[in-house]
Structure formats: structure tokens, C-alpha cells
Chain A
Amino acid sequence: MSTTTIHEIEAPDSAAKALLAGQLAADQGHFQPMEDLVGEKMILNMGPSHPATHGVLRVVLEMDGEVISKATPDVGFLHRGDEKIAENMQYNQFVPYTDRLDYLAPLANNVAYALAVEKLMGWELPARGKAIRVLCCEIARISAHLLGLGAFAMDVGAMTVFLYTFTQREYIYNLCEQLTGARFTTSYTRVGGQIRDLPEGFVGALAKFCDQFLPALEEVDKLLTRNKIFLDRCKDVGIISREQAIAWGLSGPNLRGSGVDHDLRKAVPYLDYELYDFEVPVGEHGDSFDRYLVRMEEMRQSVHILRQVIKTLPDGPINVVDAKNRLPGKEKVLMKMEELIHHFILVTEGLDAPAGEVYFAAENPKGELGFYINSRGGGVPYRLKIRSPSFVNLSILPEILPGHLMSDVVAVLGSLDFVMGECDR
């Protein structure tokens, strides 16, 4: 094989010339002027530890100048294998793990999980137990929305709101602490009940909280709702149409922000939600601003529910009575042999759950939190699947982000209000 020297290239013979011409023609295709004169696209990593992603979400953005042409959320940085963990422990042992799903509303997760297992057991709580759980859920909703709202506002530049909503959240934590003994990781429910009844003075403290909360919320409303900058940053940003919202399986305020009137508390009432009077707020446009408005209104409705529960709080037992599957109670365990033996059996073997499958979904602050339990009988689930709203809600990002500016990403992310603990679980 002959080697081509520089000289040959500069003064090629006819055969080489023909070859070169062919190459040039081919090359021409390669060097054709690009249609897009702006230049090439740039890949930008947002996250996994970006302040606006509130946790460890990574969004890979393909940028065309300042406009996003493609967005790919990358999740899983906080994966702990909760579902697998659940397969290796008893139903009650998993309660602390549910705290850490949507860690901004642990009480609501506890309740949803307990309800799911109770569905498997075929149990129904007495009226007071249900009312207490409604309190838990609504307290959690307010707390989660406050954080979502504060963080959202901070992302789009309104720092003060964050401080005010956090002050309110602190009061909620005080309530949680009184109720459950922990501020954050509540672990309040057990299968078939709660760890304790409402402590003394709790109802009063809650009523007082509600009274001071509404004015504080109005203040936030004043700071944001008619604020031109906030409006400009959120209006018509991240529009999710009704059809899109349904097609992508969104739930919670993100679904309702797109105008779909679907709230599990109304659609499939659990915990006697049908006894309470409340409205389901829905948006008209499906943009970030509507999602914000929906959350604001939901908090007002939650306070409304809380007040009704306080007024109608029934007396009586809070836990299911099932001598076979509930711990006998300390007094008996300490003094009676039979109960002690039963206590040992129950702790070491767990509930005597029937075989079967159940799916239970609750309307959590972030949307539909569902637990699917596949039981082969006994105290440990064969499979436990968590349908986490944040995971599903995030899946719509590739659909709605393209076409937006870089700075709109924070407004969209903030308004979707997700929690990675739950998304990655």
C-alpha cells in the first residue's frame, strides 16, 4: 500500500483528484451550514444538590441559548430501598419508615400506611380514632403546604414569605411534639390505632393555632398573590393542561391546579371525611400560579376541617379492639402471665394478617399516596409497593419544561412541590 505524502495531496494525479473530488463532495454534506445559527446545544446539570431542587433531584437540561429544549429528571439519589425493607419487617416496624417518605408530612404518611394495613386486616377504627387521624392529616397538610409555599416563594425571590411560613411550621411542630413525642419523625400510628390519645390541652392549643394561623396566611397572601413580580414569574409558566395532567397521572394540588376536580377525600371518602364540610379548590389555567392558589386555598379548607373536628370530636376508644392482634397493654403484660405470653408472641410474630392483596390510597399533601400490600399471610408483607405522588408528579417535567427559560425551571419545580424522600423512597 502506498503512503500518501503531502506532496501528493498538493499535486495529485488524476485518479487521486477524482478521489479527492468525491471526498470533497461528501465533506460538503458534513460542513453544510447549520440551520440553527445560534450554535450548538448545551447540556446543563441542575442538581443533584441545587438549592431549588429541594433535595437531591438532578434535572439534565438541554439548553438552546437560554431556552430549554429538553429536560430529563434524574431521580434515585435518595433511594433507600424502603419497599424491600418493608418485606423484611413486621407491619408495625415499618411505621417509622413511613415518616421518612414525605418527611414534610410524616403524620399523613403514618395514617395512610396504617389505613392500608387496616384495610388488609379488615379493621375499622372507632369514631374518635378516625377523628384524631383527620386532625393528623390536616395538620400535616398545612405543614407541608407551608413549606412548599415558602420554598417556592423563596426560589422565585420572595425570601420573607419563607420565614413567615416557617414560623407557622414551628408552631405545628410544637403541636406534633405534644401529640406524638417527636417534632419531625412522628411515628404516631400503629396498625389498628394510635400510640396515644390526644394529650391534655392539645385541642385547645390546636384551636389557638388555627386562630392565629389564618391572619398569618392572609399576610402571606398579601405578600404574594397581588405581587406583580411573583405573578410575572408564575403566570403562564409550566402550564399543564387538564388532559396532560390526567394522562401523566398527576395527583394532589398539581392535578387540581389544572382544573380536575379530584380529591380522594371526596371521591372515595375514608376516615369519615364525608362528615366534614369542605371545598376542593381547582385552578383554571394549570400554570404555576394556579397551583400556588390551590395550595393557599387548601390550607384554608384544612383549617376549616380542623375546626369542625375540634367541635365534633367524639369521645370513646381510639383503637381497634382485637385481642388477638393488638398488644394487650402494659398494665396487663406486667402482671398477668397469659397476657405476657401473648405479648411475646405478638411482638415476635407480628400481626396475623390474612393472605391477599390490598391497595389503599390517601389524599396526602403532595397527592395520592398509595400502599399496595401483597400478603401471603402472617406478620410480614410479601410485597409492599409505595405509590408516591412526588415520583409521578415529577414525571411530567420533560413534557412541560421545554420551551421555558432557564429561570422558569425554579418556578415550575417550586410549584410542583415534590419531596425526594418520597420520590426515591
Chain B
Amino acid sequence: MALVVRRPQLKWWEKIYLPVIAKGLVITMRHFIRTLTGRTKVTMQYPEEKWNDQLPEHYRGAPALVTDEQDRERCVACQLCEFICPPRAITIIPEEIPSEDKWAKVEKRPRAFNIDMIRCIYCGLCEEVCPEQAIFLRKDYAITGESRAEMVHDKARLYEIGGRRVGLVNKWNDLK
């Protein structure tokens, strides 16, 4: 059943508009005073104030790589994230881990891992498909740079943002 919206019939005093101005002013003044006395706070003084502590754990900021408790890079260069990334922001060049390396049994690691932050749309698909819990979307949202080159996060930068994550599933080391 439809609900027919009825338009108002204006009273004569509404037609002369002046009382309506007054009514409008009362509303705006009420807001003004409430804001002035700090009862309602709407504007956040960014960047002095930050929203960071309100961000949920699953906030989708800049993607970054993480290392595990023993500082092994978790990424095994499987390239699933590169495959799934809708705007093709990720480029990975894998390499074999040399046999004398402590983590030789992991076999592969990325030689280069670039995420073009100009292309990235923060969709979170990379994190969703990574089978190694190696890539996470962090809470960093203010990614800036002065050149295009600077906006391409390379492996070093990605580990710098990502840091070390503990408490993840370990399948390659004895901590599991």
C-alpha cells in the first residue's frame, strides 16, 4: 500500500516568510551554541587530532608485508596477490632461497615486491587470498609522496610499514 506524501498548506504567517526565518535561526543558533559549548562535536581538527584510535582492527589502509617472530619474511612469492589484485598494483619478482640459507626449505621468497600505491584501491583482496598471512592492510591511510617513484612501495618500505607480526600461524618454523 502506497503512502501518498502530502505537501503542506502554508498558513498565512508562513507565507510572509519572516516567522520562518526566525524558526530557521532558532535551529541554527541551537546548533551553534551546542557546538560552541562543546556539547556536540562534529569537526575533527585533522591533522592535529587523529582518528587512529577509532579505526577498527580490520581497517583497510595501506597494504604491507610482515615478518614473523624469527624475522623470516612470511611471503613465499606465490604471487596469488599479484594475480588477484584488481588494478594490478602488485609486481613480484620471485627468487629461490639459496640452499645454505637457514630458511632454505621455504624455497621461494620475493626478490622484489612492489606495490604501486597510486594504483592500489585498498580493496583488501590481497590480504584475503594470501595463503601465508604475509600481507596485511594496515591502518596507515595518509600515504603521500612527491613523485610517482616515491609512491611505489618497494619491499623494504613494505616491511617497514608492516613490521613484525606475532601470533600468526607458523608452518615453517619450530614455533608452531
Residue ranges of A at the interface with B (Cβ–Cβ < 8 Å): 89-90, 92-97, 160, 164, 167, 170, 174, 177-178, 180-182, 185, 187, 195-196, 199, 219, 222-223, 225-229, 231, 235, 256, 259, 261, 279-285, 289-290, 293-294, 296-297, 327, 330-331, 333-335, 340, 343-344, 347-348
Contact = CB atoms under 8 A, between A and B. Distances in A.
Contact of A174 (B2, B15, B54, B78): B54
Interface residues of B, number: 43
* Most chain B beta carbons < 10 A, residue from A96, A235, A335: A96
B128 interface: yes
B1 A279 contact: yes
B20 A228 contact: yes
Given A199-B56, A279-B1, A334-B171, A181 B20 contact: no
A219 B29 CA distance: 13
Contacts of B163: none
Given A281-B3, A344-B131, A229 B59 contact: no
Given A181-B56, A335-B169, 13 more contacts: A96-B123, A97-B86, A195-B128, A223-B24, A223-B27, A226-B14, A256-B2, A284-B7, A290-B5, A293-B7, A327-B128, A333-B131, A334-B171
Contacts of A340: 131
A264 to B, nearest CB: 14
In the A-B complex, the 3 residue pairs with the smallest Cβ-Cβ separation, listed nearest first, are A261-B2, A293-B5, A279-B3
Contacts, number: 125
Contacts of B54: 174, 177
B4 A222 contact: no
B52 to A, nearest CB: 12
Contacts of B86: 89, 93-94, 96-97
B119 to A, nearest CB: 12
Interface of B: 1-8, 10, 14-15, 17, 20, 23-24, 27-28, 31, 42, 54-56, 58-60, 78, 80, 83-84, 86, 121-125, 128-129, 131-133, 137, 169, 171
Contact of A227 (B24, B58, B133, B171): B24
A225 B8 contact: yes
Contacts of B171: 334-335
A290 B7 contact: yes
Given A96-B121, A222-B27, A167 B3 contact: no
A181 B129 contact: no
Contacts of A285: 7
Contacts of B84: 90, 93, 347
22 contacts: A92-B125, A93-B84, A96-B123, A96-B125, A167-B42, A177-B54, A178-B56, A182-B59, A185-B121, A185-B123, A187-B124, A199-B56, A219-B27, A223-B24, A225-B8, A226-B14, A281-B4, A282-B2, A283-B4, A284-B5, A335-B171, A340-B131
Contacts of B124: 181, 187, 195
Contact of A222 (B3, B6, B23): B23
Contact of A181 (B1, B10, B125, B137): B137
A228 B17 contact: yes
B156 to A, nearest CB: 26
Contacts of A333: 131
Contacts of B80: 344, 347-348
Contacts of B42: 167, 170
B121 A226 contact: no
A97 B10 CA distance: 46
B35 to A, nearest CB: 10
A160 B24 contact: yes
A340 B86 CA distance: 22
A280 B3 CA distance: 6
Contacts of A330: 133
A226 B131 contact: no
Given A167-B42, A340-B131, A347-B129, A181 B7 contact: no
Contacts of A177: 54-56, 59
A297 B123 contact: no
A51 B171 CA distance: 56
A297 B31 contact: no
Contacts of A181: 56, 58-60, 124, 137
Contacts of B78: 344
